[in-house]
Amino acid sequence: MRLLAVTAFALLLVTALESSVRTQSVASSGSPAPLVTQAEYDRWQTDLSNWGRWGKDDELGTLNLITPSKRRAAAMLVREGTTVSLASNAETEKAVDIPCPVEWAMLTASDAGASDRIGYPCIHGAGTTHLDSFAHRFFGGKMWNGYPVLGLVTTEGGAARNSVLTMKSGIVTRGVLYDIPRLKGVPYLEPGTRIFPADLEAWEQKSGVRVGPGDALLLRWGRWARRKALGPWPIDEGAAGLDVSVIPWLKRRDIALLGWETPGYVPQPPGDLPRLAVHDFVLTILGVHLIDRADFESLSEAASARKRWEFMLTVAPLPIPKGTGSPVNPIAIF
């Protein structure tokens, strides 16, 4: 066991050095950052994997790091009791950046009361803030913790393993906002901007906080600020996001949850890995659940006004049996 631990540490050290060299070479030369290769990415799927870390039957992944003491510590961050939503509004009209809106209609309206109907035809779509379960994305026919997809996730029966129902009791932990536009002194980042470990650590120096085991990292690049300034655009054709080289950094930080406004940067340079390379690796190999398509504008303003970039975070997915995800309204509490 000691030999295995030393070997795992050595592999992490190697990947950390590779990432550091990549970042330093870019900083010193001013040239475009080199891309993570397919060979590196493939090797990380073994070297950085969390499969089996919490036993062969695990379906929670890094949520195991959110212990009762972690939740109590998060609650201690609440000083005022001010709450801030991190969800975008559930849009009911189709738009260039909302190709699959929520289906909503009134059913009854009278002097005695009213009732409506709502449906989410695209849980994982661009128009809905949602929480991804481990039954959403796969590597080589396997999902989180090595479970085979075949027979466990079907169109007839849904997800028999790793469904969103595993999170029925909710998520409560310390949240930390990484506000990269504020770091750069701009209202928002431009589409195609790649966010590197050096950017995340520069923000830590500026803000005085950093994520650690069991925390939720929330990444803002300014999607909604850009929309307000310039109007909607096809979001899957233009976005900033985490560079693939951030994967070993995320592994070392041992976060429990990752949230962002969009999954990946686009346009991408020639020869780059698929846009969802970070999304899929984090979810399936590291076992980190994702809050996707969030809106961090109100959170950014609230945190900036208080000069506090850490807070208590709560996320409560709908208890959907065999579901691959759920709409959510994450709440930050200051």
Read off the pLDDT of residues 35-64 as tens digits, 9 standing for 90 and up: 999 999 999 999 999 999 999 999 999 999
CA-wise closest residue to 131 among 323, 280, 316, 325: 325
State what percent of residues in the chain have pLDDT above 90.
Answer: 89
DSSP 8-class letter at 100: S
pLDDT at 189 over 60: yes
Distance from CA of residue 102 to its chain's centroid? 21
State what percent of residues in the chain have pLDDT above 70.
Answer: 91
pLDDT at 319 over 90: yes
In this structure, of 10-14, 42-46, 96-100, the range with the lowest mean pLDDT score is 10-14
Q: Tens of pLDDT along 121-153? A: 999 988 899 999 999 999 999 999 999 999 999
H or E stretch including 44? helix 38-47
Q: Which whole number is the average pLDDT over 52-78?
A: 98
CA-wise closest residue to 325 among 170, 163, 215, 91: 163
Q: What is the pLDDT of residue 131?
A: 98
pLDDT at 25 over 50: no
Tokens of 305: 């006004």
The count of other CB atoms within 10 Å of the CB of residue 205 is 9
SS3 for 114-144 is: EEEEEECCCCCCCCCCEEECCCCCCECCECH
Q: What is the pLDDT of residue 31?
A: 72
Q: Are 41 and 244 in contact (CB under 8 A)?
A: yes
pLDDT at 105 over 70: yes
Q: What is the pLDDT of residue 26?
A: 46
The count of other CB atoms within 10 Å of the CB of residue 78 is 13
Q: What is the pLDDT of residue 104?
A: 94
Q: What is the pLDDT of residue 127?
A: 81
Q: What is the pLDDT of residue 253?
A: 98
Mean pLDDT for the chain overall? 92
Using 50, 70 and 90 to split pLDDT, how confident is the model at 11?
Answer: low
Q: Tens of pLDDT along 202-259? A: 999 999 999 999 999 999 999 999 999 999 999 989 999 999 999 999 999 999 999 9
